[in-house]
Amino acid sequence: MRSRAEIDDEQNRQHPPRVIHTGQALVDLVIEVPDLPARGQNVMADSVAQYAGGAVTVLLAAARLGAQCVHAGSLGTGPHGDLIREALDADGITASAPQVATQDTGVCVVLVEPTAERTFVTTLGAERDITVDSLASAAVQPGDLVCVTGYSLAVAQTRDPLLAWLATLPEAAVVVLDPGAAFAALPDDARDRMLARTDVWTSNAEEATDLLAALSVPIEASEREIVEQARALAPLVRAGAVAIVRDGGEGCAVHAHGETTYVPGFPQTPVDTNGAGDTHTGALLAGIADSSTWVDACRHANAAAAIKVTRRGPTTAPTAAEVEEFLRDR
């Protein structure tokens, strides 16, 4: 009789896990400024450019590292929606949901300072027009990696259909939560329902701190706080779940299979940190879809994010070949 592992390996060969993102695909209007203006004042921009952003950044990173990718969120009709579709098509990413005919995709204005710090102003558009049926167009299979952003949960228009749809997924679908700054302050019911269906938590250190504080979960003093954060987060999600906490160039910590491991990063002099966290998530999930271990996938994700911060724009994730060359050099 074949083992469970042999059966799973055969299923993966027949139906390789896909990276499916449910979050908002937006147009990032990136404006480089010498400093943020005082309230009511003006500042002259150094540059301005627009890119496909939001969920697209995760998907591009995953696709460029070899994953099959699907965007299950909604796209609008108009120049912004067209820009998103062109970016997805260029990297072979499927957009599964029907196009929203009544409005265009929204915009996120990103102000980037010389330190690479970012400030955001986001509008709402067609990307918020999701339903259980539109999400179901992704046809999630067991083993697929389904990405959820906390920003989807911050607005009732997207939170309600998203949570209802998540409850319909196959038990073996892997739900990946990138909580964002909004998650810790969500209503208790929404936050608890999401955590109960989360198989992978991946966040930055600040987002981890916010949730642990909101739930009054203490962490032990440690030389590397992210290690203790990852360990403390693991019991808050599904049994056997993985928790990852990243800290920029310092790298990340991953709690998987009962062990917590620090995975060193690759510090760089950044020119633009916009999309670095999303690039890390996309690269991480590409590795997992390709049967890498969590630690090895984190190392590749650290490298991909390190390359990304040396490039301007959120859609500049590296390819698999570029990541491998970067790691060989180190």
- Predicted confidence (pLDDT) per residue in 150-192, tens digit: 999 999 999 999 999 999 999 999 999 999 999 999 999 999 9
Using pLDDT thresholds of 50, 70 and 90, give the confidence band for residue 221.
confident
The confidence score (pLDDT) of residue 14 equals 57
pLDDT range class, residue 216, cuts 50, 70, 90: very high
* Interval 131-141: pLDDT, tens: 999 999 999 99
Q: What is the mean pLDDT of residues 302-330?
A: 94
What is the value of pTM for the model shown? 0.91
User: Which candidate, 269, 311, 313, 249, places its Cα nearest to that of 110?
Assistant: 313
Least confident of 211-225, 234-248, 272-286: 211-225
294-316: average pLDDT:
95
Dihedral angle at the C-alpha atoms of 181, 108, 251, 195, nearest 10 degrees? 40
- Picking from 79-93, 105-119, 150-164, 224-238, which range would have the lowest pLDDT averaged per residue? 105-119
H-helix segments, the chain? 4-14, 55-64, 79-90, 132-136, 150-153, 156-166, 188-196, 205-214, 225-233, 276-289, 294-308, 320-328
pLDDT at site 3: 36
pLDDT of residue 315: 87
- Mean pLDDT score of the chain: 93
Residues near 318 by beta carbon (within 8 Å), at least 6 away in sequence: 64, 304, 307, 308, 326
Confidence of residue 45 (pLDDT cuts 50, 70, 90): very high
Half-sphere exposure of 299 (CA within 13 A, CB side): 11
For 311-324, what is each residue's pLDDT tens digit?
A: 988 889 999 999 99
Strand order across the beta sheet in which 200-204 lies: 94-95, 68-71, 18-21, 145-149, 174-178, 200-204, 242-246, 251-256, 259-264
Give the tokens for residue 286: 């590409």
Return the minimum-mean-pLDDT range out of 6-20, 91-105, 188-202, 271-285.
Answer: 6-20
